[in-house]
Amino acid sequence: MSTDFDHIVIGAGISGLGAAHFARRAGHRTLVLEASDRIGGCLNSYHFPELGSFWTEAGGHTCFNSYGNLLSILDDLGLTSRVQAKQKVGYLLWRQGQRESIRSALHLWEAARSIPRIFRARKDGRSVADYYSEVLGQRNYQDLLRHAFQAVICQPADDYPAEALFRRKPRRKDVIKAFTFAEGLSAIPQAIAAQPEIEVRTGQRVSEIRRADQGFQLQLAEQTLACNHLTLAVPPDVAHALIPEGFEEARAAIADIGVAPIETLVLVFRNGEIGVKPIAGLIAVEDAFYSAVSRDFLPDPRYRGFAFHFRPGALNEEARIERACLALGTTPRHIVAQARVTNRLPALKRGHGTRIAQLDAALAGTPLGITGNWFLGVSIEDALTRSRSECERRFRHIM
């Protein structure tokens, strides 16, 4: 069976849905194919129906008013007026079995001596360890920053490209600085997918892609689909496997880009049964988990929720629960709901920009687009910036 579409996107994370939305602006209806049974990718507001749909973010957890491409989509969808401010709560360190302040690991004199270097130091082509040891001091990097960065990207940070972290973006003053939604960030992919010009099919695994005339043929389990334009919005290893013949240079450019598996434990407790004040989360120092992110930024009168992002293979299930409860000052008997979520983030290395430049040169002038959270950085805005640029390259007329 063969069905024709103008534009097909493989992957229904925010990158793929963003590509579908930008294509819609340019007048192109889009079919989005997702291998799993859920859309949103790293945006996963995990709801517990048995707790009145209380939710905790199991992936991305914050949007900012500097996310210009995201805000333009929210404007289109009528969601900007629904944003909710995040309560100002801070992070704590979890170090050697104790919760400590961030300041306890900060060497202020070293930072004061090092900060002037930030005005002349370049990020391009440098690793996180190299750049931040220079601009904030080696002890600050070793004792605090490397752990804070690992908490953000949920993987070892030393060789991560410095330019892929914390890019400056202009802020929109008419929007709250840091925001979420009453139902969690999953409201964003759900709203994009609900547009009539976008069709989303879950449980659809593409086994092969072939060039066909001026477009592509996609082989699925029970049918073949054809399209004029194709966007791969998948992790780099999946993109490498799916890139069709005729794009050997593109495939070679991303051959050594890895992925880091993330194993997340989501725990919910009743208010008053945790021995820690409201926090944004925990930054772990040399522990089995990289970080824990709290739902405390949007308080609920009944429950508190936490997502612990564990190193792959670290501890068994029972030990993970024990470790998480210890970090929160409680015990497993107080858990009222729990869930396990697996995900993968790109494992970028120094020199990543050169790889992407080679990929872009190989894609120039073709109807194949490749996007994801592994180009400019892992943030929602980084992913959408890439998706928009790939649509502009092929469709041109995006408002």
| Residue 243 predicted with pLDDT over 70 | yes
In the chain, what is the greatest distance between 2 CA atoms, to the nearest angstrom? 69
> Quick one: CATH architecture of 49-63+85-89+259-347?
Alpha-Beta Complex (3.90)
Q: What is the pLDDT of residue 1?
A: 38
CATH number of 2-43+186-257+348-395: 3.40.1010.10, 3.20.20.370, 3.40.710.10, 3.50.50.60? 3.50.50.60
- What average pLDDT does the chain have? 94
102: which DSSP letter? G
Mean pLDDT, residues 106-113: 89
The residue-averaged pLDDT of 227-256 equals 96
Alpha helices (H) along 60-143? 68-77, 108-114, 128-136, 138-140
Q: How confident is the model at residue 222 (pLDDT cuts 50, 70, 90)?
A: confident
Per-domain boundaries in the chain:
2-43+186-257+348-395, 49-63+85-89+259-347
How far is residue 9's CA from residue 21's CA, in Å, rounded to a whole number?
A: 11
Q: Is the pLDDT of residue 302 over 70?
A: yes
CA–chain centroid gap for 149, Å, is 14
